[in-house]
Amino acid sequence: MNAPDSTATGTGAAPVRANLLGMNRAQLEAFFLEMGEKKFRAQQVLKWIHHAGVTDIGQMSNLGKALREKLQAVAEVRPPQIVSQQDSADGTRKWAVRVDGGGLVETVLIPTAGRATLCVSSQVGCSLDCSFCSTGKQGFQRDLSSAEIIGQVWLAIKSYDAFQSGKGRIVTNVVLMGMGEPLLNFDNVVTAMDLMLEDLAYGLSKRRVTLSTSGVVPALDRLAGVSEVSLAVSLHAPNDALRDQLVPINRKYPIAMLLRSCRDYMAAQSDRNRVVTIEYTLIAGVNDRVEHARELAQLLRDLPCKINLIPFNPFDQSDYRRPGGNAVSRFWQVLVDAGYIVTVRTTRGDDIDAACGQLVGQVVDRTRRSERYRGAQDSQVIKVG
């Protein structure tokens, strides 16, 4: 497990103070024991931060004045900062969030009937360069700390003034599906997920916290031993040749290896009725044909899963196209006929660029990978068609 998030504040000789926001219960207990205090103080502080939304240690009235002063000397509660907020006509709310060092990440709250799902980022940028992803065009800057990850949940609740009114329940589900590959920031992501599940913090059930990975197999195997959150896998292709192009990490961890790891993850769960969500972005002329659907149905036959089809959301740096409704329907029907539960993701927040794959605004496409890929595929499209 990672060391508690602690970062220098200010400049020069400013004291280094631990950021209590990103510590899970075990880390906070260890922190208080190290201070010569009782470990139950951790429970009090967790409730102040994550139930009451308090950042001022001076307001934590059940700690006693002497302890508050002692704590203020060595620690702080420092959330990231909201730089801008946009509200979509469909109720989706997006925040640009500034993290330490000036980097920006985006967080999106998507309300639907009876629930509100918060899409959280785990890294500033991403190193994996999936060809259809706007974040991938940014390159990688750095991992977020656990405080910066859980801080997005904290900020979302704060943004609705919901700490006092609803015990923070404005966020009913969290998906680690924003900027970055969460399994490449393993320790900080696991710590933040601990807090999402912790009753003294956000108290979400393990079914309502979903980690989405592009397939970092060794880290997924490791996750099976420490977490029971729901799993989503960004597959996007039914064979290695195509996935190598769309999701380059597939060259290192090909599909068979990834699906084996998914099966192991599910086998390690205490609840055997759970399934993996397979995310499949449908890109016109690339991976949306009936043959692809048949191949996908065959590929997934041994995995307990449901399939989420995501019609591609075009963005400036990509020349991929969204498939038409008929192509999506045909693809969906093949999978349904094969016995799968299949959903088609409704595009949300289009008017604020908050839909999946559009988390980054105007960025320079440093690699032009999508252009090269489309060029290479044109001949294949003609041949097959």
In angstroms, the CA 16 to CA 76 distance is 10
Closest contact distance (angstroms) between CB of 133 and ligand SF4 is 3
Residue 360 within binding range of ligand SF4, rule CB under 6 A: no
380: number of Cβ within 10 Å: 13
**Does 136 contact ligand SF4 by CB under 6 A?**
yes
In contact, 151 and 22? CB cutoff 8 Å: yes
The residue among 49 and 133 lying less far from ligand SF4, judged by its C-beta, is 133
Task: State the minimum distance, in angstroms, from the CB of residue 128 to ligand SF4.
Answer: 4
What's the closest the beta carbon of residue 344 comes to ligand SF4, in angstroms? 19
DSSP, residue by residue, 323-342: PPHHHHHHHHHHHHHTT--E
Which residue among 126, 130, 133, 356 is the active-site one? 356
Note whether 133 binds ligand SF4 by CB under 6 A.
yes
Residue type, 374: R
Is there a catalytic annotation at residue 356?
Answer: yes
Q: 302: which DSSP letter?
A: T
Would you count residue 171 as binding ligand SF4 (CB under 6 A)?
no
Encoded one letter per residue, x for contact with ligand SF4 by CB under 6 A and - for no contact, window 202-231 reads ------------x-----------------
Interacting span for ligand SF4 (CB under 6 A) from 46-54, 130-138, 237-245, 270-278: 130-138
Q: How far is the CB of 215 from ligand SF4 (least distance, A)?
A: 9
The Cα–Cα gap between 326 and 323 comes to 8
Catalytic residue chosen out of the listed positions 106, 148, 228, 279:
106
- Least distance to ligand SF4 from the beta carbon of 67, Å? 42
Facing residues of 81 across strands? 98
Question: Among residues 159 and 347, whose Cβ is nearest to ligand SF4?
Answer: 347
Q: Sheet of 115-119: strands edge to edge?
A: 81-87, 93-98, 104-112, 115-119, 173-176, 209-213, 230-234, 276-282, 305-311, 342-344
Rounded-to-integer distance, Cα 258 and Cα 295, Å: 16
Count other C-beta atoms under 10 Å from residue 73's C-beta. 11
| Among residues 5, 129, 279, 288, the one that binds ligand SF4 under rule CB under 6 A | 129
What is the C-alpha to C-alpha distance for residues 310 and 332, in angstroms, rounded to an integer? 11
Binding footprint of ligand SF4 on the chain (CB under 6 A): 126, 128-130, 133, 135-136, 179-181, 214, 234
Give the residue numbers marked as catalytic: 106, 356
